[in-house]
Structure 1
Amino acid sequence: MKIEPTQVNIAKIIKEQTKLEESEEVVHLLLIEWYLRKQLSTKKLAGKVKLPLPLVSAIKKELVKLGLASNKVGTGLTRKGKLYVEQQLGWAAINKEYYLKVTDSKEEQASLKEVMAEELTVGIVGRPSVAVAYDQAFATIETIVERAFLLLEKPDFINKHILFLGDDDLSSLAVGLLIKKLKASGRTKSIEKLTVYELSPDVIHCINTSAKKMDLDIVCQHLDFREGSLSKYKNQFDYIYVDPPYTLSGLKLFLSRAISCSRLEHAHIFLSFGEKAPKNQLALQKLIGLQNLVIEKIKPNFNQYSGASIIGGVSTLYELTTQIDSYPAVLAESSYSDYIYTGELRPRNVVYQCCRCGKEYTVGLYTEMTIEELKRKKCSICANDTFLRIDTKKLPDLQEQHSLGKHYLIELKNCPKEKLTSVPLVEQLMLQIADGCKLTRVQHYFHQFEPWGVSGVIILAESHLTIHTWPEKNYAAVDLFVCSDLSSESHFTSLLLTLFEGKEIECRCIIRGNVS
């Protein structure tokens, strides 16, 4: 019995029948877990796929109806169900017993990691020097092996499209090697669908050469993510690895490109980023939330680097998932002109002195020379390759960003109806708030809705203050946009709560118009 790809979409049918809110992929995940571990109880299966027991029971009933599972006690998938997992989900290519051995045994997993690290150390050839101008700092071999093993936590990765959005760390080689280790004996047909988009020709050459040596199937394409040329790559990939530059602008661009390339609703993004300053950590979280991504896991200090002193030699690994309404802040069709590398945003020249003859060299953004290149070329006088850093000269910032203003979005809840119903009272309170916050009123207008509800706007010299009320819900939405700092943000929110007698307030501040 062979299940053809043209047959009905089983996961889609079950999603509709069970009113499943999660993506269709969770049905495949359940099938795979059942296939791998055979007679799993409903409770254990629910734990594996992280779904409520009643929902797992409902999915199992639908699988029985479709002939993929048996409802007899002590049985699991039918022959048809097993064939579906093997043929449609790619598990015919995998040594199931070895996979379970690796995933269920810490000793076996540690042994495989050690073997892979040794093979990668020997197998990687022609690796270029670190390009510090592009915020490069190579992850250790042990780290890229750990990145590959992240896939084992998600058994639906087999037969999926995996993208490496920039890969100077060579994580693609580790992932390719892991999948090769898991292949069924005698399996010659490639199951890897690994793609690398990379800017550096030297890195691409290294990956191609090393992959050929290790008999791995990896496709590399030269791509500059700043160019708006990703339209043809949209929504193709299920798993995406991305390790962006150290800047928030670089993070914004690379994360946007990852979303553009991902299959929405269920794709997984492994993001490595090392920002530690609290305000930048908050900016990172806001950027993730803004693009409607879900943070599944956060693994601090997961990535270890050789160098990367600017981030302390380590970075955090964020496991993100896309939703059906996830979207990129920078569209796939749009180019990106902001500076994205640390050297561009905070340029400086550094003076090094040859440790043998004392000759001085200046390296930095405007010299088109890095310390790595200087060491490789050696001193032009004595051919020495060791240098001492003796001076740093900060250059004028190429781009100083500033915002056009702050936009406060406020939700007032559980307010008395009488405070929200009539224009005279709402108008009086809003004008009192504007004056209390020392905002300059220019003009105002308030409108009465029938049977109740008020909308109003106060034009300010600083921008605007608006309100929309829903008395029947005891709720008001307030919007303040100012092009200069408030004298006190806490005073503003306190006035709102006090005057409208709200019991609860939610306030978000958005920085508007980050421009150079």
Structure 2
Amino acid sequence: MKNDPSKVKRGGEELLTEIALKAKVAEGKESIRRVLREIFRKGTIGTKSLAKRLFLPVPTIAAIRNELEKEELITRTERGAVLTEKGLKFVTKDLQFRFIEDLRCKRCFGRTIGSPGNFDELITQMKDFGSRRPRPLTEFDQAFARPITALNRAFLMLENDDLEGRSVLLLGDDDFTSLAIGLLQLNVKVTVIDIDQRLLDLISNIASERNFQIECLKHDLREPLPASLHSKFDTILLDPPYTPNGLTLFLSRAVQALKQEPNRRIYLSFVHRPPNEMLLLQKTILEMGLVFSQLLPGFNIYEGSEMHGNTTAMIILTTTSETRPSLTTTSFRKEIYTGEVNPTIRTYRCVNGHTILVGKSTIIHTIEELKEKGCPICGSKKRFLRIKRETK
């Protein structure tokens, strides 16, 4: 009688590889091991918490979790995933897990900076600013960072001597980092370039109310950077569209705007990617003559971007004598936004049970438009539940 292949005992590495293949994860078997280790250390942990801890997309975590459940290594509870008896035996015997204590700094959680004495006052004011923001526009890949993230960016730049007496450019500022800098009451001149006039108007109004030195310019970075902005700034911060073209375009504009001398810094916020994709990202950066000074995973926390676990990395780049932009001063006509590069059709359900398709090829293009116009069948503008997402 032949053995059932599913019942044949597999070694630790073999099983991890098999699960990774079934889950179709680009991060490979190491991501499976790390998910199991995190569940072992935490006891019980939810999908979103796993995504944040491991800097993996929520769909990737969900796919891994499903395969681990099929292997009966974990089970699901109301509070999240937990190891089964079989799973506990596997991680302690095959993977040799023992240590469960969390050694991350409980104050900065890997962000490497603390907070000034007036932090409570600053965060209260940032929350007030944030409450005045309009809805994010997904067609521009907008996902607002939390107030603490805008402040942490300002603290990081301040600690690195990239604010006081400096001229700072923000290429896009839906996160209001310019206002966080303003709250520090430093001698720093801030310029914001954004495509969204709503945000620019609000930043300008708040800056006027608070006497912050912030200049706002509306500009589509797909068009050449105005010559008056070339080689002008000491420090640049950007959170570009999370696509290869988006990174190349925004980073090229940043290099054009920086003073042409070594040791200037660019603060780049970008999504966590699998190693092979990170290799391409780093090649793009190195080809411009920039070097990596620091990479801080999970530094930025967002109110949206659940696909990315609500976090992105802060990458600090430094200029060299060989720094040059990849793109010239011509217009850029390639797709840069996620919805253009990877078009999707999302299916939502309104409170009355009607299903609505949302996407560039449908009648309703964005979730913001759906919320504004309401369900095309019943007119309801109340909560919409996303039930499916398909890539075209």
Q: TM-score, normalised by structure 2?
A: 0.67
Matches within 5 A, 1:62-461: 109-124=115-130, 126-155=132-161, 157-178=163-184, 180=185, 182=186, 191-264=187-260, 265-331=262-328, 333-356=329-352, 358-367=353-362, 369-379=365-375, 381-395=378-392
Secondary structure of the 2:117 match is helix
1:199-258: CA deviations, max 9, x gaps?
111111121122223331210000101012433311100010000111111111111111
Q: How many residues align?
A: 278
1:167/1:361 CA distance change after superposition, 3 Å = same
1:107/1:296 CA distance change after superposition, 3 Å = closer
Higher RCO, Cα 8 Å, sep 6+: 2
Aligned-residue CA RMSD (Å): 2.1
CA distance in 1, matches of 2:367, 2:175: 20
Secondary structure of the 2:340 match is helix
Structure having the higher Rg: 1
| Amino acid in the other structure paired with 1:241 | L
1:120/1:392 CA distance change after superposition, 3 Å = closer
Secondary structure of the 2:115 match is helix
Structure 1 runs (4+) deviating above 4 angstroms are: none
- Give, in angstroms, the shift of residue 338 of structure 1: 1.3
Alignment correspondent of 1:508: none
- Give, in angstroms, the shift of residue 263 of structure 1: 0.7
Matches within 5 A, 1:492-503: none
- Give, in angstroms, the shift of residue 110 of structure 1: 4.3
Task: State the percentage of identical aligned residues.
Answer: 36
| Amino acid in the other structure paired with 1:238 | D
Contact 2:347 2:356 in 1 (8 A): yes
CA distance in 2, matches of 1:244, 1:206: 20
- Give, in angstroms, the shift of residue 379 of structure 1: 3.1
Contact 2:158 2:164 in 1 (8 A): no
Unpaired runs of 5+ residues, structure 1, are 1-105, 183-190, 396-516
| Amino acid in the other structure paired with 1:321 | T
1:436-487: CA deviations, max 9, x gaps?
xxxxxxxxxxxxxxxxxxxxxxxxxxxxxxxxxxxxxxxxxxxxxxxxxxxx
CA distance in 2, matches of 1:176, 1:161: 13
Contact 1:235 1:262 in 2 (8 A): yes
- Give, in angstroms, the shift of residue 384 of structure 1: 3.8
Alignment correspondent of 2:96: none
Contact 1:125 1:210 in 2 (8 A): no
Unpaired runs of 5+ residues, structure 2, are 1-111
1:119/1:279 CA distance change after superposition, 3 Å = same
CA distance in 2, matches of 1:326, 1:289: 9
- Give, in angstroms, the shift of residue 125 of structure 1: 5.9
- Give, in angstroms, the shift of residue 327 of structure 1: 0.3
Contact 2:351 2:380 in 1 (8 A): no
- Give, in angstroms, the shift of residue 141 of structure 1: 0.3
Contact 1:276 1:311 in 2 (8 A): no
| Amino acid in the other structure paired with 2:202 | C
| Amino acid in the other structure paired with 1:215 | N
CA distance in 2, matches of 1:301, 1:140: 13
CA distance in 1, matches of 2:158, 2:113: 15
Q: TM-score, normalised by structure 1?
A: 0.51
CA distance in 2, matches of 1:393, 1:124: 32
Contact 1:347 1:364 in 2 (8 A): yes
Secondary structure of the 1:240 match is strand
| Amino acid in the other structure paired with 1:138 | F
| Amino acid in the other structure paired with 2:167 | H
1:292-346: CA deviations, max 9, x gaps?
1121111111001112123221111011111222000012x12111111111111
Contact 2:372 2:381 in 1 (8 A): no
1:156/1:340 CA distance change after superposition, 3 Å = closer
1:239-280: CA deviations, max 9, x gaps?
100001111111111111110100122321000001312111
